[in-house]
Amino acid sequence: MTTDILSFLLLLSLFLLLGSGIWIALSLMGVGVIGMMLFSSAPIGKVMATTVFTSNNSWALTSLPLFIWMAEILFRTRLSEDMFSGLAPWVERLPGRLLHVNIVGCGAFAAVSGSSAATCITIGKMSMPELKRRGYNEQMSIGSLAGAGTLGLLIPPSIMMIVYGLVAEVSIARLFRAGVLPGIMLSCLFMGYVNIWALLNPSKVPPADLRMSFAEKIYTSRRLIPVTLLIVAVIGSIYAGYATPTEAAAVGVLGSICIAVATGTFTWKNFADSVMGATRTSCMITLILAGAAFLSVAMGFTGLPQQIASWIASMALSHYTLLFALMILYIILGCFLDGISMVVLTTSIIQPLVIQAGIDVVWYGIFIVLVVEMAQITPPVGFNLFVLQSMTGKNIFYVAKAAFPFFLVMCLAVLLITLFPEIVTYLPNKMLSNN
């Protein structure tokens, strides 16, 4: 059977299963079963049992539920309110003023949550009412939050990076380091766009609030101490080599509980809700990982990945053409699938092509995360769009229109890391040289 027919049958099976409402993980397993039944004589039950066990029998995987739990705990604290109060005085003199709180706040919260959804919801609940009350342009408020909310995927500790690292068998610590400079760069690009927009539309930016002296700003910034300490404890311990991502995640959970207690938001109900929320999310992700792992093994039995890799290799695509094609592929997939499903569904097939093209797998991990970020704000299945739609009451297309300029900014970020890969590889290579 030809590659075209095999690919068509498997893709058709996948879309039929997904369209029927079956869970993504079970759909992936179902496609794997169909592939092995039709094109292999291997024992399906034994292969599935071994693969599912192996995919979830990883020490690195333990960091995933811990980081998710940390995000769930912080979501139920007053951390976001304290961050707004602490950041607001420092951005008043910038064009765009408090719009920058969305970006800086999302960047800071992303550094302790690792989740795009948690970042968008938490910062949005705090900033949107304040920006609306002060008369800021609604479309720009929504757009900046939609764009900056995606930083939860890029700035470590990113849950998406952990998933990619597990699927691609890449060091999670190196991925975390690789995400730092691109995360800072993207935040600066977002702030740069807001500055330009504000200078071009001065009438849409309210006047500054009461000016504070430097001493008053410092005193107000005391509210940033908890989040700063948590960032240093979690991220700093990994970069300094004192802790593995799993150990840092445990420190993060302990630190988030301490913040909840210190801010008076710790209750046994909140604690139980955070545990259940983390459990549900972790089970969902690990089940998807298991399904993707089985599908990858099943595809190996069919020989399809090798055939596709050979086919693409025969096209003799240049380095940049291949990356452009992959970016378009992920943007299209992002219209129908969530980020985690995109990563686990495609990595096993595309990674051999990437390695064959001489692309660094750590750099490619950051490339994927950036492109998945773009998918977070593209309809109809842009998760951040859903979050903001429910938060603002606006329709999905209004929110998507507001987010579109920030989508273009992300395209610029992808271009920059492609032209200057050292933005991604500098810190991971520094890590290797120090070892």
**pLDDT tens for each residue of 209-240:** 667 777 877 888 887 888 888 888 887 887 77
Please state, in angstroms and rounded to a whole number, the distance separating the CA atoms of residues 95 and 191: 9
Q: Given this model, what pLDDT does residue 272 score? A: 92
Quick one: pLDDT band at residue 303, thresholds 50, 70, 90?
A: low
Please state, in angstroms and rounded to a whole number, the distance separating the CA atoms of residues 95 and 69: 36
Please state, in angstroms and rounded to a whole number, the distance separating the CA atoms of residues 318 and 341: 27
Q: pLDDT digit string (tens) for 384-423?
A: 777 777 777 788 788 889 999 999 999 999 999 999 999 9
How many Cα atoms sit within 13 Å of 177 on the Cβ side?
A: 21
**CB atoms < 10 A from the CB of 413, how many?**
22
Q: Please list the alpha-helical segments (H only) found in 62-202.
A: 63-75, 79-91, 99-113, 116-133, 138-149, 151-154, 159-168, 172-178, 180-200
Please state, in angstroms and rounded to a whole number, the distance separating the CA atoms of residues 240 and 31: 43
Largest CA distance in the chain: 75
Please state, in angstroms and rounded to a whole number, the distance separating the CA atoms of residues 404 and 410: 10
In the predicted structure, residue 287 carries a pLDDT above the cut 60: yes
Q: How far is CA 149 from CA 160, 322, 369, 403, in A?
A: 14, 28, 13, 11
Q: Please state, for a pLDDT cut of 90, what percent of the chain lies above it.
A: 17
Q: Given this model, what pLDDT does residue 415 score? A: 94
301 vs 27, which has greater pLDDT? 27
175 vs 317, which has greater pLDDT? 175
Quick one: pLDDT band at residue 307, thresholds 50, 70, 90?
A: low
- Supply the DSSP symbol for 108: H
In the predicted structure, residue 170 carries a pLDDT above the cut 60: yes
In the predicted structure, residue 56 carries a pLDDT above the cut 80: no
Distance from chain centroid for Cα 359 = 21
Q: Please state, rounded to an integer, the average pLDDT across all residues of the chain.
A: 81
Please provide the DSSP assignment of 213-260 as one string: -HHHHHHHGGGGHHHHHHHIIIIIHHHTTSS-HHHHHHHHHHHHHHHH
Q: Given this model, what pLDDT does residue 162 score? A: 86
Q: pLDDT digit string (tens) for 106-128?
A: 888 787 767 776 677 777 777 88
How many Cα atoms sit within 13 Å of 304 on the Cβ side?
A: 27
In the predicted structure, residue 3 carries a pLDDT above the cut 60: no
Q: How far is CA 248 from CA 66, 232, 279, 356, 395, in A?
A: 9, 10, 19, 34, 39
Looking at the chain, the number of H-run helices and the number of E-run strands are 24, 0
In the predicted structure, residue 139 carries a pLDDT above the cut 80: yes
Q: Given this model, what pLDDT does residue 305 score? A: 58
Quick one: pLDDT band at residue 309, thresholds 50, 70, 90?
A: low
Q: pLDDT digit string (tens) for 333-379?
A: 776 666 777 787 778 778 877 887 888 999 999 999 998 888 778 77
